[in-house]
Structure 1
Amino acid sequence: MGIPQRFSLVTLGVADVEAATAFYHRIGWREAPSSVPGDVSFFATPGGVLALWETAELAKDAALPTFHANAPHFRAVAIAINFASREEVDDAVGDWVLAGGQISKRAANTAWGGYTAYVADPDGNLWELAHNPGWPLDERGLPQIDGA
């Protein structure tokens, strides 16, 4: 059978669902009607659904212990948004900060010919904002890699 090469949903653990939802509203994202205020928020995107759920509830659902105070801040995961130009990356970084997010790494040229910045939401969830000239965006804003 095999497992399909896709993902349907990314769930970010957050300390306060309402506060996290307000941040994503401030960056211009629209919440799906299926959200449950104060419990879980969903944001439909062309590539999948982003969910915001309380960290303790997410850990409980996965049968894992909740992060403890001395857990490392970096979670070894970054979600990326690709843009059509370097200017769009810079604009997005500015909007992110205005909405209450933080810059982890300022936008800069990369060794592979792109341009990226790393930003974090108020809960420390890491996002890469990137322009990759080798991956043109389709009409949905998704990168086209290797002609796919």
Structure 2
Amino acid sequence: MRLNLVYLQSILSEVYAADKISPPKAPSSSIISILRKAALRRKDSAAQFIQASRPDLADKEENEAAIISAFLPPVLSEDAIDSILTEVLAELPPSQTDSRKNLGRVYKSFYSKVDKSMVDTDAVKRRAEVLMTFDSS
């Protein structure tokens, strides 16, 4: 598996750009986010190539996503996300009834405890909505 130099250069340019924005150097969480997004883009591209009946290009994208993913720390499990979300929900005053406002507060509190680069944000959103629905019934 050889990572295409063009893709590697695009990832490095994103890291360099992040480095320029937050001197003296980009925090590791920013670099992890960049790598996660790069891997996700390749997985999405692979899915599109499969739909277009181009398995050769899909394989290439999947291989690159696997290489990039090898450099990433694991994301938190759903159980760990649930545990933190339950803790956050317990901190909310019971008088708040606007679920949209509460959802924003839940996310803000959750991400103050957990680095965004260490979770699948879609999983956090799904679990928060499920727990808030379950909590309000």
TM-score when normalising by structure 1: 0.24
Larger Rg: 2
Greater relative contact order structure (CA < 8 Å, 6+ sep) = 2
Higher strand share: 1
TM-score calculated relative to the size of structure 2: 0.25
